[in-house]
């Protein structure tokens, strides 16, 4: 089963893009009673997420890097360039990023796919009391 919904980041929301994304996830859950597991956007939109995360110290503090070999997570070094590849919301709702250059700039699509091509774990329902945003 696949369900999806498009969203738009307004010009005034760019500085708080992660809050906009978190609100979209809540909206998606309210509509479908499922958490999305994929976020699609075009290259430009993803580059803006990366740029804003690199220049905003508050956003930078929410980024975690997971070592592929050890599985340990760490904060990025102060000079390390951040390139995001996923967004974690509520610990059990992980969004993997997927590029779709057919989407307009500032537009993104949230998708729930119970059989994603890369065989990732499917997010499970998460109580509202555990909502938080972080980056992986």
pLDDT band at residue 82, thresholds of 50, 70 and 90? low
pLDDT score of 41 more than 50: yes
Looking at per-residue confidence, does 51 or 83 come out higher? Answer: 51
User: Is the model's pTM score more than 0.85?
Assistant: no
Q: What is the CA radius of gyration of the chain?
A: 14
Which ranges constitute the DSSP H helices of the chain?
17-32, 43-55, 57-60
- The pLDDT of 108-129, averaged and rounded, is 68
Asked if 55 contacts 130 with a C-beta cutoff of 8 angstroms, the reply is no
Asked if 113 contacts 40 with a C-beta cutoff of 8 angstroms, the reply is no
């Amino acid at each position: 089963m696949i369900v999806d919904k498009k969203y738009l980041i307004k010009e005034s929301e760019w500085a708080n893009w992660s809050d906009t994304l978190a609100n979209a996830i809540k909206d998606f859950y309210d509509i479908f009673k499922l958490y999305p597991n994929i976020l699609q956007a075009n290259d430009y939109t993803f580059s803006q997420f990366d740029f804003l995360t690199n220049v905003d110290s508050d956003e930078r503090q929410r980024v975690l890097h997971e070592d592929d070999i050890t599985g340990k997570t760490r904060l990025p070094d102060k000079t390390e360039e951040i390139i995001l590849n996923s967004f974690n919301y509520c610990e059990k709702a992980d969004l993997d990023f997927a590029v779709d250059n057919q989407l307009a700039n500032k537009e993104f699509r949230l998708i729930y796919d119970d059989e994603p091509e890369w065989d990732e774990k499917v997010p499970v329902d998460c109580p509202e009391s555990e909502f938080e945003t972080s980056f992986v």
